[in-house]
Amino acid sequence: MRILVIGTGGVGGYFGGRLAVAGNDVTFIARGAHKAAMEKDGLKVKSINGDIHVKPVKVTDKISEAGTPDLVIIAVKAWQVKEIARQLAPVIHEKTMVLPLQNGVLASDELKSFLPENNVLSGLCRIISKIDGPGIINHFAVEPTIVFGECDSSQTQRVADLQAVFEKAAIQSVVSKDIQADLWRKFLAICVSGLLGVTRATYGEVREQPETRQMMRNLFEEIAQLAKALKINLEPELVDKTMAFIDSFPYESTSSLTRDVWEGKPSELEYQNGTVVKLADKAGVDVPVNRFVYYSLLLMEKKARQAERD
């Protein structure tokens, strides 16, 4: 399968690397020192599931030079999806599958604003990984999993075929029977990233301090109530399950949003706690903890984006 991976970070580097080692024709989009290192030494993936090394590796910094793919995995930050969609429009063919793995619940709808609906799938992934240095990806926690499907959750042959491609690459995958519910399950969990950013604490520190642990639970409960108001089918025990899931993370681990906030970089704040606040305002649901997190980080986010423009 001809695969284009847009964004060779912790997500795209890991999953794209596995797909390349399995014999697929994978092209990576990367830039700067990361691209240069990949061209020289290949893509190295360090993983608790076993290291891999893709060399030689096909890498470019221009989507227009990547050929016509059968599958596009979009692994950039959520705020970059719209611009990526514009660049993809002239490249894909009528059967190309475009699979977004962004945090949040808006990516597929944003893609459909620029691409034919038939090309767009919905998806999410579970993995804790990061770029360790140019050309090097480090997967250090959580069993890497892709949950995906048609946007309307219909069970089609193409998603079954794609699951077979993932399985051949030793990538755990699930064809969703309710992709909106699955997106919201992850969305609920990741929105604690902003709380880590505000408290400047790791998952372990936030969960062991009684006061911040209660804030975390309240944050989750607010999102569960919002999902209920929006008629998303989430199980009643989801908050308890999510708390237990967070308790399984390595003590010193953090999320990409948290690290971006700490480092003064643009983050996915608008697509996480910001989205909670905006959807809650429309639905008439009270979300005070998410609102506190969002408002507390908003000025830092604006400064980070201004610095990037300057």
Q: What is the pLDDT of residues 204-228, one digit of tens each?
A: 999 999 999 999 999 999 999 999 9
Sign of CA dihedral 72, 78, 83, 89: positive
Question: pLDDT per residue over 13-63, tens digit each?
Answer: 999 999 999 999 999 999 999 999 999 999 999 999 999 999 999 999 999
What domains lie within the chain, and their CATH numbers? Answer: 2-177 (3.40.50.720), 184-309 (1.10.1040.10)
Alpha-carbon dihedral angle through residues 17, 247, 108, 66, given to the nearest 10 degrees: -10
Q: Which residues of the chain have pLDDT under 50?
A: none
What residue type is assigned to position 296 of the chain? S
Whether 102 and 77 have beta carbons less than 8 Å apart is answered as yes
Query: In this structure, are residues 85 and 106 in contact, taking their beta carbons and an 8 Å threshold?
Result: no
pLDDT at position 1 is 96
Q: Output the pLDDT for position 256.
A: 87
**What pLDDT is recorded for position 229?**
97
Tell me the whole-structure pTM to 2 decimals: 0.90
pLDDT of 31 reads: 94
- Cα–Cα nearest to 63, from 79, 76, 44: 76
Residues β-bridged to residue 124: 147
**How many angstroms separate the CA atoms of 278 and 300, rounded?**
19
- The runs of H, that is alpha helices, within the chain are 10-21, 32-41, 81-88, 107-112, 157-168, 179-190, 192-199, 203-208, 210-229, 238-247, 256-262, 273-283, 288-309
For residue 128, the SS3 value is strand
pLDDT of the residue at 37: 97
